[in-house]
Structure 1
């Protein structure tokens, strides 16, 4: 399924993989790959959950690719979406030596690599990007049994992107943080799966505070720990006077 918002075409492939294209044909991807969402191998843990159908996808049309943290770094996914002259923007904290999957080192990717810090700004072609902290609060609701965050501060980032006159916010794998509410956002892409990120209720509350033009939830139902009721999320957001669309089959 493909959505239109302002001058953007928006497509969620599953997990955190999102494709954004402007009317001028500039293409950005966020956190491409993992769990078979781009290889056609994804299978739900529970039948009937709302999620895009898996596709064997190799468009290689991305002008810029953004990667938020180790868990979302997938060199194969990047190579499936990035064009030959793409720029790949990778958070400074991504360290492939700490990833227990078969991935290429960031510097071995055949693209222009730009590293970004926790609170940085850069421009790639027609896209402006700002990084923001993304983490779970210690002893908060999204931690291990001992209170240790799944995503400690400094482990990852979110991105605020300006594309074709539209501002897009992907918080990354994060709790709702105080600074989030201060942003001006047109398209909000919240994670709603809970467990490792804000859940559907917390995301709905943030959507109300941000008052974007459209909310498209992502990062849910990929596997059992991320399963949630997306229709209940949509009803919750709409009841707060905010438009929402589910990009799922």
Structure 2
């Protein structure tokens, strides 16, 4: 299984027979190296409804016939847009043909802003535990620091965690270091930074300070094999 990072919070997981995209914010994301018009996706996993995470989901899913897995209200909203969706919710898990998905809590907001500036409520935000062939990826999603991250780390053997460090909208680097201690992933990758001026951070400094597991900065397009 190959796991690659593509800017902001965009993560791609490639198995033997499936391509999975998490939070495919591609168009309008100068940090992303993917092309929304050509990228393949059998499955799209969404943490929450903000535009910089839903991104190009509708266009990609329609072109590829992708299954979209999302928190319930977001899944219902995208279903109204004609997508094939599977709704889930915090604490729930489901075995798919590509692996097991479990949603964890995240402390953040969740809404989608339409082109006419209408704001659509899209339910609770979440983090995603994705387990495939005995390996677990934790996309923490957009969140502030909360103590149940320790419980999540105690309950799961996490191989790689994608942790936001940008501050302002999510955890900053100091809180993210505490989160990394609690999650206890073997590899900790910073995400959700430098896309906008207000979330500018130095990921190398963060990675060098990770105390539990290996802090690793993934450049755009970098891949890790699990």
TM-score category (smaller protein): 0.7 to 0.9
Describe the shift of the 1:222–1:69 C-alpha distance in structure 2 as closer, same or farther (beyond 3 A). same
Answering whether residue 30 of structure 2 is matched by residue 61 of structure 1, we say no
Answering whether residue 204 of structure 2 is matched by residue 231 of structure 1, we say yes
Check the 8 A contact 1:60/1:79 in 2, yes or no: no
1:25-174 to structure 2, matched below 5 A, reads 25-33=17-25, 36-37=28-29, 42=30, 52=31, 54-72=33-51, 74=54, 76-80=56-60, 84-94=64-74, 105-136=77-108, 155-174=124-143
Describe the shift of the 1:245–1:213 C-alpha distance in structure 2 as closer, same or farther (beyond 3 A). same
The offset of 1:53, in angstroms, is 5.2
Answering whether residue 18 of structure 2 is matched by residue 14 of structure 1, we say no
The offset of 1:35, in angstroms, is 5.8
Deviates more, 1:110-119 or 1:168-177: 110-119
The offset of 1:211, in angstroms, is 2.2
Describe the shift of the 1:55–1:21 C-alpha distance in structure 2 as closer, same or farther (beyond 3 A). closer
Deviates more, 1:108-117 or 1:226-235: 108-117
Check the 8 A contact 2:69/2:75 in 1, yes or no: no
Check the 8 A contact 2:103/2:129 in 1, yes or no: yes
The offset of 1:83, in angstroms, is 6.5
Please give the TM-score of this superposition, normalised by the length of structure 2: 0.78
Structure 2 portions without partners, runs of 5+:
110-122, 221-226
RMSD: 2.6
Check the 8 A contact 1:60/1:82 in 2, yes or no: no
Point out the structure with the larger helix share: 2
Check the 8 A contact 2:128/2:139 in 1, yes or no: yes
Which secondary structure state, in structure 2, belongs to the residue aligned with residue 190 of structure 1?
Answer: strand
Describe the shift of the 1:192–1:83 C-alpha distance in structure 2 as closer, same or farther (beyond 3 A). same
The offset of 1:225, in angstroms, is 1.6
Distance in 2 between residues matched to 1:36 and 1:11, nearest whole Å: 19
Distance in 2 between residues matched to 1:244 and 1:25, nearest whole Å: 29
